[in-house]
Chains A and B, each alone.
Chain A
Amino acid sequence: MENNRSFYNEILTDHNLHPMHKHPLDTATASLEGVNPSCGDDIVLNLNIKDGVITDGSFTGDGCAISQASADIMLDLIIGKTVEEAEHLKDIFLKMIQGKATDEEIEELEEGGALSDISHMPARVKCAVLGWHTFENILKE
């Protein structure tokens, strides 16, 4: 029986099949690889950060639909934001994946909210957070 509550909703499949931000970025000021061995997801996140603002970003690499869509949605959200604002969104996203974010917080994530059901899929959490964790690690460096 087909279960229509499957979390592969249109937002997710659309970002997977037609990612806006999947391309190299010549102007990147920071790039970092992120790997999720469980699915073999392997992405490189590229950001151009100027005066505390993420002016541009992209990713390359391969992986499952969840990792790809999540990275693309993340870039939609953080490009044009200050690093501080982007970190705030990252915190909400990670809370959402643990099933702990409020509805108002999830609102802030816009299309990122389409991934909220992953909190019920322990096997796929790592895919959903790959882009965000890679972002977190870039900031640490």
Chain B
Amino acid sequence: MQMKNFKEDFPLLRENPVVYLDSAVTAQRPESVINSEMEFYQKYNANPLRGLYDLGFKATECYEQSRETVRKFINAKSEREIIFTRNATESLNLVAYSYGINFLKKGDEILVTIMEHHSNQLPWRAVAEKTGAAVKYIECNHDGTITEEHLKQAFSERTKLVAVTHISNVLGCKTPIKRITELAKECGAVVVLDASQSVPHIPVDVQSLDVDFLAFSGHKLMAPFGIGVLYGKESLLEKMPPFLTGGEMIDSVTRDKVVYSDLPHKFEAGTVNAAGAWGLKTAIEYIQNVGYDTIGSIEEELTKIAFDGLKQIPRINIQGSSNPKEHCGIISFTIDGVHPHDVSSILDADGIAVRAGHHCAQPLMEFLGIPSTTRASIYFYNTKDDIDAFLNSVSSVRRRMGYGE
């Protein structure tokens, strides 16, 4: 099959020869998204929800249309369940501070998996500190698999909240979210799903997943920086107090009484990032146009090539599953005797951008017994040439570090 070269859609990739293998950190932006953010400022700019004039209404309309696009995208029941934030981190903190602190208490248990990003760990530790609830870990196998056994060990009748990632940002594996929501239901716990790494790669349907909250960042989905999403079930959001207070989230304020706005505005205090939301809408349209099937098949093919190539190179250790299909384009690896930061600096000298470090998942690193890894993350706009360049460079690393081979 003749694949379209998607790099054509991305101004940076058209003009810059960089081999960009760091999309799990942030994706590149297609021209349509860059243009739509600009379009907002050129055609619709006013402070949404405030200006009582035509332009103000247009800005509001753009903002609310974007919300509707997000609602459809993740199949939420109502636009009242879609809250715009800055990023996944803010979305998760919103749930922790508004739901966690107010509805959990001493004796309750919060479950997180050992592979959570710090953004889905630290807010829960703060909740534990403030409420006296305890944070417990769901363990996993060395390749990231969470088994029934691991779940049974973690869940108890005290479990009241489960915060889990959909896809690990280090190992690329999926977590058994369906089973987790089932078990959570049995003990009356709410489920918070971190979809930061899944939304860019696989369709996400909040109703079929039946999670209570879901968080993601726009920027990993090719939207502008500074726009993120929190989905929450209406019945829960209704009873939660505001996270931040201030402008544009009240119905009325008198000297001694405040009536907060209705959902979702109750959770969107202050001037909102309407241009970012408008760009997110375009990013969602772009991704739907490309299609998750196409995205998945390109990623799978390239991941397989990368895997096969890496296996030919001596002294490379790939973390996670041995099956390239279970990586969602994420390949974390180490090279014997070479520090991951040195690996990434050598790749950088060859024009290849990868990430090295603990990937904001230090408890997972500790579990894997490695301080850090180099991570290449593949997206559908990457090409076989990118992977070839990557493999060439990786195969030269030990020699360039002075090992005689």
**What is A's interface to B at a CB cutoff of 8 Å?**
1-3, 5-8, 10, 13-14, 16-17, 38-40, 62-66, 121, 123-124, 127
Contacts and interface: CB of A to CB of B under 8 A. Distances in A.
B210 to A, nearest CB: 39
Contacts of A13: 400-402
Which of B339, B357, B400 lies at the interface centre, i.e. has the most chain A CB atoms within 10 A of its CB? Answer: B339
B367 to A, nearest CB: 16
B5 to A, nearest CB: 20
A102 to B, nearest CB: 26
A61 B357 CA distance: 18
Given A2-B393, A10-B402, A40 B371 contact: yes
Contact of A66 (B342, B349, B393, B402): B342
Contacts of A40: 357-358, 371-372
B341 A8 contact: no
Interface string B140-159: 00000000000000000000
Interface in B340-389: 341-342, 345-346, 349-351, 357-358, 371-372, 389
A3 B349 contact: yes
B402 A16 contact: yes
Contacts of A121: 345
B357 A38 contact: yes
Nearest 4 CB-CB pairings of A with B = A13-B402, A64-B339, A6-B349, A3-B349
B342 A65 contact: yes
A3 B397 CA distance: 12
A129 B389 CA distance: 31
A75 to B, nearest CB: 19
B16 to A, nearest CB: 15
Given A5-B349, A17-B401, A124-B341, 15 more contacts: A1-B350, A1-B351, A2-B393, A3-B349, A3-B351, A6-B346, A6-B349, A7-B349, A13-B401, A17-B403, A39-B372, A62-B371, A63-B339, A65-B339, A127-B341
